[in-house]
Amino acid sequence: MNAAEIFQLIWVAFLETLYMTIPASLIAYVLGLPLGVLLVITRKDGIKPVPTFNTVLGAVVNLLRSIPFVILLAMLFPVTRIVMGTAIGTKSVIFPLVISAFPYVARMVESSLIDVDRGIIEAAQSMGSTTWQIVYKVLLPEAMPSLINGAAICVTTILAYTAMASTAGGGGLGSLAIIKGLNLRKYDIMYVASIVLVILVQLITVSGTKLTRRLDHRIR
């Protein structure tokens, strides 16, 4: 196999990886962000305390988080078939990715928001803010650098999960490395695919850190 052919394989797999990672990350955030907010504001010492709800929500999130992705992928086959139309292939993997990632996102968001100075929230309360105003005008803006940093971690985690897509007949760099590389003993493909994955993770992490620092006005 010549370099051009390898490049072609890698390029397609790279696109497939993005095709799984980007929508899965976005949808995981659409679900996980409000969930993380709920986890914070409904705490006993939160701005809208609903302790029982908070405990139940926390337990559900933990339960989902504790199932390893490969197992979840298999367990979800029937549901995935209903939701995505098929349980096999690159596109179908987006669904289990979302299910696996959104609780993770929720916890990540929670830990970012919990770090917001209590005093700042109290000041907002003392000014007559509604709960919603505190969430989108105080909590989220104040936690923004930390949220961005968390997002970079979440995306790299989802990216790592996509490597297991081969289990469900999905593509991407991970599948390429395992099926073409490992199973067919084309180690060059395995290494190149892995290196591209490493670079991708580095890129996300570094830009996440840079953005975090640029957005944070606490240090200057």
Partner 1 sequence: MSIETGAPAQIEVVGLRKVFPLSGGGEFAALDDISLKINKGEIYGIIGMSGAGKSTLIRCMNRLETPTDGKILIDGQDVLTMNQKQLNMMRRKMSMIFQQFNLQMQKTVGRNVRYPLEIAGVPKHKANQRVKELLKIVGLEAKEDAYPAQLSGGQKQRVAIARALASNPEVLLCDEATSALDPMTTQSILALLQDINKRLGITVVIITHEMAVIRQVCTRVAILDGGKIAEEGTVDEVFVHTRSAAGKRLFGIIADQENSSDEKLTIPALRIVFDDENAQKPIIATLIRELGVDVNILAADVKRIGEKSYGQMLIAMPEDLESRKKTMDYLKEQGLTVKEVYPQ
- Which residue ranges make up the site for partner 1 (CB under 8 A)? 117, 119-120, 122-130, 133, 137-138, 141-142, 144-145, 215-220
- Classified as helix, coil or strand, 2 is coil
> What's the min distance (Å) between Cβ of 98 and partner 1?
29
Q: Which is nearer to partner 1, 133 or 194 (CB)?
A: 133
Q: Give the tokens for residue 104.
A: 């993770």
> What's the min distance (Å) between Cβ of 211 and partner 1?
13
Q: Phi then psi for 217, rounded to 5 degrees?
A: -100, 10
Q: Which is nearer to partner 1, 148 or 177 (CB)?
A: 148
Question: Considering Cα of 53, then 35, then 138, then 218, what sign does the dihedral take?
Answer: positive
Using the CB atoms, write b or e for 81-104: b if 16+ within 10 Å: eebbeebeebbbbbbbbbbbbbbb
> What's the min distance (Å) between Cβ of 171 and partner 1?
40
Q: Which is nearer to partner 1, 5 or 117 (CB)?
A: 117
One-letter-per-residue 3-state SS of 155-177: HHHHHHHHHHHHHHCCCCHHHHH
Q: Which is nearer to partner 1, 44 or 185 (CB)?
A: 44
Nearest Cα to Cα of residue 92 among 79, 105, 107, 104: 79
> What's the min distance (Å) between Cβ of 120 and partner 1?
5
